[in-house]
Amino acid sequence: MKLKLPAGSFGAYLFDCDGTIADSMPLHYIAWKQALGEWGCEFDEGLFYSWGGKPADEIVADLNRMNGLSMPVEALSHYKEGLYFEMLPQLKAVPEVLEHILAQHGRIPFAVVSGGRRNSVVGSLTALKLLDKFDTIVGAEDYENSKPAPDPFLIAAERLGVAPGNCLVFEDTDLGIQAATAAGMASVLVPPPAERS
């Protein structure tokens, strides 16, 4: 399968990380299931994918509200990330996105714009040997309003010195596509693993 990009040329590419560059969503789900299971908290797989791009602290807080639980937000987020890091040797890149990274690297600037924390993004990109391809990383600690707000993408465009309308966003979630649209950016949706064969 090849990704169909919008027509025109772009001054920068902005990539989500999990599920877009890194085929990491299945590993994140395993980590969430284990971490939440210790609290007797269910996390439906469909809901997990629909919340793609949502910071871990927000996920725990929302699950607390939905289930009437009082799981420790920050501690559980860190614990879940630790479980994910243990699985990093299994991580693979999404081939259809990797193709565009390799084709355009060095021609235009790249940013990673993630709902994950910087250490998680760096861990994933290091495991994939792609960290040196990106000019900047915008992680959950860099903005107040997460996707679908445009803030994360606007910060990346500003750091790269490229007008928002001249950026192309690669995203795997509806939240991410909404954020790109709100930022005035063109976008391409990366299908989930089951639809990429």
Question: pLDDT tens for residues 98-151?
Answer: 999 999 999 999 999 999 999 999 999 999 999 999 999 999 999 999 999 999
What average pLDDT values come out for the chain (197 residues) when binned by 10 residues?
90 97 94 97 93 91 97 96 95 96 97 94 96 97 95 98 98 95 97 76
| CA–CA dist 15, 53 (Å, integer) | 12
Any idea what the CATH number is for the domain that residue 76 is in?
1.10.150
Q: 121 near 110, Cβ under 8 Å?
A: no
* Residues 6+ positions from 117 with CB-CB distance below 8 Å: 55, 56, 81, 139, 140, 141
**What are phi and psi for residue 113, nearest 5 degrees?**
-125, 105
Q: Which helix (H) or strand (E) holds 164?
A: none
Domain around 42: 25-88
**What are phi and psi for residue 169, nearest 5 degrees?**
-105, 135
The three-state secondary structure class of 170 is strand
Residue-wise over 83-92: b if at least 16 C-beta within 10 A, else e? bbbeebeebe
Q: Are residues 104 and 55 in the same domain?
A: no
- Per-position DSSP letters for 148-180, written without gaps between them: TSSHHHHHHHHHHT--GGGEEEEESSHHHHHHH
Name the active-site residue from 16, 18, 23, 172.
16
Q: 88 near 130, Cβ under 8 Å?
A: no
Last residue of a domain, one of 45, 61, 88: 88
16 given a catalytic annotation: yes
Q: Are residues 80 and 177 in the same domain?
A: no
Whether 62 is in a domain gets the answer yes
The reported pTM is 0.90
Domains contained in the chain, number: 2
What value does the mean pLDDT of the chain take?
Answer: 95
